[in-house]
Amino acid sequence: MFNSYIQYCGAIFWPLSACSFFLGVILVERTWTILILKKILRRNLSQKTLLWHQNLLPFFKDIPPAIGLLGTVLGVIQSFGLGDGRITAESAGTGLATACYTTVMGLSVAIVASVFEYILNWLILKHTEDIKG
């Protein structure tokens, strides 16, 4: 399955993979900072430190779907032979696979970023209510 992604996504695979990797790194860091340091070790964190993810997660909600859309358009161009004027079953199939894979990858990164943004914001809200409460 992984080889299919690389084969069909082409050059679009690498920026989407980089976005996915860096999103994972950020989510591990945020989980460590908010859950482990704050909740378990009871360390005081500044509001700026707690909300640091709000500066980065919008990037992962906006850019990967745009890259995926670019891959979709490139796949459609490939499907209809717009580059060389020839339509073959192989180019149509490969182009549609490119369109589908890049769309799925871009949306997957954005969905994960959105879900974790809500979770992290909820944890911070809960933390601030605990302090006030």
Q: Please give the tally of structural domains in the chain.
A: 1
* Model confidence at 38: pLDDT above 90: no
27 CB neighbour count, 10 Å cutoff: 20
**With bands split at pLDDT 50, 70 and 90, how would you rate the model's confidence at 45?**
confident
**Mean pLDDT of all residues in 2-24:** 82
Q: What is the pLDDT of residue 131?
A: 62
DSSP H or E run through 12: none
Average pLDDT on 66-83 reads 82
Structure tokens at 4: 């299919």
Domain assignment of residue 52, given as a range: 2-132
Closest CA to 117 of 52, 20, 47: 52
Q: Is the pLDDT of residue 54 over 90?
A: no
Spatial distance between the Cα atoms of 56 and 91, rounded to a whole number of angstroms:
38
| Residue 5 pLDDT greater than 70, yes or no | no
